[in-house]
Amino acid sequence: MNRHLGTGRALALALISALIVVLSPVAPPALSAAPITVSQAIGQQNGSTQTVRGYVVGQPTATNTVVKSGFTNDYALAIADSSTQSSTTQMLYVQIPTAFRAQWGLRTNPGLMGKQIDVTGSLAAYFSHPGMTGTTAFALSGGTTNPPPGGGTSPWDSTYYAPAIGKTGTALRTSLHDIIDNHTKLSYDQVWSALKDTDQDPNNTANVIEIYSGRSISKTLNGGNPDDWNREHVWAQSHGGFGTTAGPGTDVHHLRPEDVTVNSTRGNKDFDLGGSSVLQCSDCWTDSDSFEPRDAVKGDVARMLFYMAIRYEGDDGYVNLELNNSINGTTPWHGKTSVLLAWNAEDPVSAFEMRRNDRIHSTWQGNRNPFIDHPEWATPIWN
């Protein structure tokens, strides 16, 4: 009898315990951090990684210019807290890496205008404007994000770059050389006309932009007088002795407008960090054997030298141009590779570079700079 009462009491206690478990509140799952607003992102340009929610309001083409239609490429978009925002000061400029351009670029997807999206990346200046670079995910608000596939993509991958896709190291280098060689060669006089097109100021079509100084100057002020602009060989002529004859000496992929005085200061120096400030070139530095351009074009410089080292391999009558990690004087090498790779990573491809690449390909030489379309290809070749 007592044994039965003990058993009953045990069952009752077990039922009460089970009921308590069922009725006890269950802790809700942890929620991920909500996306921040565009205005918050504009105020947090500190390199931190954030997800930002905003409405697509156009394509940035310059620091203070966002176009709402007639999109020219898929490389960048602007977002704002309101779909009707028209002030660029209230917009975040978002870089679109190659992996996302087919799905999120406005030239290909103009229907994105006015849509609310979430973007994830580093809060850092883009087009010298509050922005996001190194973007790693895009999604319609409430949707799922899309991580980039390895290696990135380009609209040219299935055609122009098809032989190179999937390769790395020496195989990638050889394939790219075969793709970009045999281009149309220009005379040195033709380079004047080409630069007036390729380096046109997007805010003033009567001007060109000088690469190192960033100065906008009339296209007609080209020549050799002080304060004229001249044809700067980013891969210095003496680093290979190719002069100005058709070929490397006239290859527009590394020729850029620059002030005569600044051009002379740069001379044939390799690219490295530090030195003294350069007259008429804000944020430029130089010493006896090296030159450091302003931050906004460091990646441009790196990608031009990458191109030259791949295009000119010594197999078509031209000198074999090579990069190394040294200061080289007048040898056929250029440096420093470690600095150039860092600049390529720190300064993303700009809309100006992209347009330039397109113009050289379509109008002047018939070939492209692969490292503008695929900046990530530099590392597996030179690292």
DSSP state of 361: I
- For residue 26, pLDDT over 50 is answered with no
The helices-and-strands tally (H runs, E runs) of the chain is 11, 18
- For residue 13, pLDDT over 80 is answered with no
Separation between Cα atoms, residue 343 and residue 382, nearest integer Å:
14
Separation between Cα atoms, residue 382 and residue 344, nearest integer Å:
12
What is the mean predicted confidence (pLDDT) over 231-241? 96
Residue 383: what pLDDT? 82
240 Cβ contact partners less than 8 Å away, ≥ 6 residues apart: 248, 312, 319, 321, 332
Residue 33: what pLDDT? 61
Strands (E), 63-186: 65-67, 76-80, 91-95, 116-123, 131-140
Residue 29: what pLDDT? 38
What is the mean predicted confidence (pLDDT) over 161-178? 95
Residue 4: what pLDDT? 43
Nearest to 370 by CA among 235, 380, 246: 380
Residue 84: what pLDDT? 84
Q: How confident is the model at residue 142 (pLDDT cuts 50, 70, 90)?
A: low
Q: How confident is the model at residue 20 (pLDDT cuts 50, 70, 90)?
A: very low
Residue 289: what pLDDT? 94
- For residue 280, pLDDT over 50 is answered with yes
Distances (CA, A) of 130 to 40, 64, 123, 321, 342: 11, 11, 8, 38, 22
Q: Is the pTM of this model over 0.75?
A: no
N-term to C-term CA, the chain: 85
Residue 198: what pLDDT? 98
Q: How confident is the model at residue 111 (pLDDT cuts 50, 70, 90)?
A: confident
Separation between Cα atoms, residue 172 and residue 33, nearest integer Å:
41
Tokens of 84: 């009707």
- For residue 129, pLDDT over 90 is answered with yes
Contact assessment for residue 219 and residue 227, using Cβ atoms and an 8 Å cutoff: no
What is the mean predicted confidence (pLDDT) over 152-175? 90
Report pLDDT digits (tens) over 45-70. 999 999 999 999 999 999 999 999 88
H-helix or E-strand containing 265? Answer: helix 260-266
Count the neighbouring beta carbons within 10 Å of the beta carbon of residue 340. 27
- For residue 31, pLDDT over 90 is answered with no
